[in-house]
Chain A
Amino acid sequence: MTALTVEKLSIRYGAVEAVRGLSLEVKPGEIVGLIGPNGAGKSSTLHAIMGAAPVTGGDVRLDGTSLVGRRPEDVARRGIALVPEGRRIFGELTVDENLRLGLAGRRRGRNGGGLTRAFDLFPILREFRSRQAGVLSGGQQQQLAIGRALVADPDVLLLDEPSLGLAPKIVDVVFEALTQIRDSGLGVLLVEQRAQRTVALADRSHVLANGELRLTLGPEDASDTDRLVAAYLA
């Protein structure tokens, strides 16, 4: 069973073509990396999957059903959760309220275990559940953003640069959590700037440059710095 299929996707903002003919697949229980320089079209791809960027060609399907043309809230309610760039937590709401917002994406008739999923993965969230989210550290906010996406009980998790602005130790925590999320059976599409770590972690990593797929790398390529650099400069 294929969870998420992106087929010959094209995205255009006015005269600017952000992504051209991108195809990729995310199956349950695997992490797919999407790396590449700034402006390569990585975030645009995630937004297009969510129905929040203009798709001009190709298709995005979840278990065979096309998602193109649907509203972001409907895509979320079909089992795709996004951890947005910059975390986008609600600083004036409590940790608990932020997590309960994630429940908005739950599918009808699915319980999903409430907030426990987030608390089990990141115990710090349980401890701070009644605090204002805005006072949390950057790393804690990133954990909150991932926890908030998980309480929706999605099939596919999209992450937009979750390591951005975090200290190396916290990045370890986040990447370790991604491994656990994969092992629980979710498909993960990870957009990252930290190319080497992503390639090492992911089952496959696609290198995107100027809106086009340049290269696909496996974990064994992580130490092959020359190949990575070449892919970026191509």
Chain B
Amino acid sequence: MTLAFLNLTWPTFANGLALGGVYALMAVGIGLVFGVLRLVNFAYGQLIMAGAFALAFGSQWGFPNWASILFCFGVVLGLSVLMDWLVFRPLRTHSPAVMLVATFAVAFLLQNIALLAFGPLGKSAGALAILNAPWDIGGVFIKKIAVISFATAVGCLVILQLLLTRTPLGLHMRAAAMDFRTARLLGVRANWVISGAVIVSGLFAAVSAVMLSVQELTVVPTFGTQDTILVLAGVVLGGLNRPIPATLGGFSIGFANGILGGVLPSNQSQYLPSFLFAAVIVVLLVRPNGLFARGGGTVERV
């Protein structure tokens, strides 16, 4: 069975949805930290890489899958909190340019540590590869991981939405993202809000690590880097300082990536990122505030 145009099949469509969901999670993870710290964390992909290595080692050491996943969450969260303490907080009052360069440095540092420790060929990915087997849904075979990824992403986003709208911490996080100085004058604790954002961001990185590593045969030190760059493009595409548009931007680019990856002939799929970035440039030329931003806003020039 095919969708009406191209050779787009339902499984490809499902893969697009699944990748869109994971990219949306990553976009939210990057956006939450940007909201409270005004810092674009370029090292987000390295958190995902670390999580994927944790999964691979978990399998190698014979952990059951649940334990590997737990190990992955532990590693990613630990690294997130460490990054926050050692880099983000000490540099919080510095200029955005300093923080940006600092996260680049952290990204390269982590990537090179992985290169030294695990080598360029990396490790074979974990035992979760069984999730690549298909489910028969009404005669259409769809990979289990596609269904699980999409459902997990939706679930995470719903829980986050509840956290942000129904709890005091969520209210404080939203207020801090709008006007940190005033929020603090009202008694909102800066440290709690930043920790909240960093931890949720880390949790989403860990979820993304699990979902992305299922579909890979090996985990290498550059794992997650290209995904992160695409997500950043998606976040900019949606509008960096608005959570919902940023999420939609991440979803869009993930969806496009998944669909094009399935539709393009395999000898052309290496050009996929070029297509996507070209599309992002065109969209930003036409709508500089982002694809999903409401009209009339001003563009902040950095």
Q: Are B189 and A73 in contact (CB under 8 A)?
A: yes
Q: Are A101 and B184 in contact (CB under 8 A)?
A: no
Q: Are B178 and A92 in contact (CB under 8 A)?
A: yes
Which residues of B in the span 159-191 have a Cβ within 8 Å of any Cβ on A?
Answer: 168, 171-172, 174-175, 178-179, 181-190
In the assembled complex, the Cα of A213 lies from the Cα of B181 at a distance in Å of: 28
Q: Are A101 and B181 in contact (CB under 8 A)?
A: no
Q: Which of B171, B184, B189 contacts A97 (CB 8 A)?
A: B171
The reply to whether the CB of A76 lies closer than 8 angstroms to some CB of chain B is yes
In the assembled complex, the Cα of A106 lies from the Cα of B175 at a distance in Å of: 17
27 A-B pairs with C-beta separation under 8 A: A50-B185, A52-B185, A71-B190, A72-B184, A73-B190, A76-B185, A76-B186, A77-B187, A84-B182, A88-B185, A92-B178, A93-B175, A97-B171, A101-B171, A101-B172, A101-B183, A101-B186, A101-B188, A102-B187, A104-B183, A104-B186, A104-B188, A104-B189, A148-B186, A149-B186, A152-B186, A152-B187
Q: How far apart are A189's CB and chain B's nearest CB, in angstroms?
A: 15
Q: Are B175 and A82 in contact (CB under 8 A)?
A: no
Q: Are B171 and A73 in contact (CB under 8 A)?
A: no
In the assembled complex, the Cα of A19 lies from the Cα of B231 at a distance in Å of: 49
Q: Which of B174, B178, B186, B190 contacts A105 (CB 8 A)?
A: B186
Size category of the A interface is 20 to 34
Q: Which residues of B contact A (CB under 8 A)?
A: 168, 171-172, 174-175, 178-179, 181-190
Q: Which of B168, B174, B185 contacts A84 (CB 8 A)?
A: B185
Residues from chain B with a CB closer than 8 A to the CB of A77 are 187
Identify the interface centre among B168, B179, B186: most chain A CB within 10 Å of its CB.
B186
Total contacts A to B, CB within 8 angstroms? 62
Residues from chain A with a CB closer than 8 A to the CB of B184 are 52, 71-73, 76
The reply to whether the CB of A197 lies closer than 8 angstroms to some CB of chain B is no
Which residues of A in the span 50-102 have a Cβ within 8 Å of any Cβ on B?
Answer: 50, 52, 71-73, 76-77, 81-82, 84, 88, 90, 92-93, 97, 100-102
Q: Are A106 and B178 in contact (CB under 8 A)?
A: no
Q: How far apart are A13's CB and chain B's nearest CB, in angstroms?
A: 15
Given A52-B185, A72-B184, A73-B184, are A101 and B190 also a contact pair (CB < 8 Å)?
no
A97-B171, A105-B186 known; 17 other A-B pairs, CB under 8 Å? A71-B190, A73-B189, A73-B190, A82-B185, A84-B182, A90-B175, A90-B178, A100-B168, A101-B172, A101-B186, A102-B186, A103-B168, A104-B172, A105-B187, A106-B187, A152-B186, A152-B187
A91 to B, closest residue via Cβ: B178
Identify the interface centre among A72, A93, A100, A152: most chain B CB within 10 Å of its CB.
A72
Q: Which of B168, B174, B187 contacts A73 (CB 8 A)?
A: B187
Q: How far apart are B35's CB and chain A's nearest CB, in angstroms?
A: 13
A88 to B, closest residue via Cβ: B182
Residues from chain A with a CB closer than 8 A to the CB of B187 are 73, 76-77, 102, 104-106, 152
Given A73-B184, A90-B178, are A100 and B190 also a contact pair (CB < 8 Å)?
no
In the assembled complex, the Cα of A72 lies from the Cα of B190 at a distance in Å of: 10
In the assembled complex, the Cα of A114 lies from the Cα of B186 at a distance in Å of: 15
In the assembled complex, the Cα of A68 lies from the Cα of B181 at a distance in Å of: 18
In the assembled complex, the Cα of A104 lies from the Cα of B171 at a distance in Å of: 10
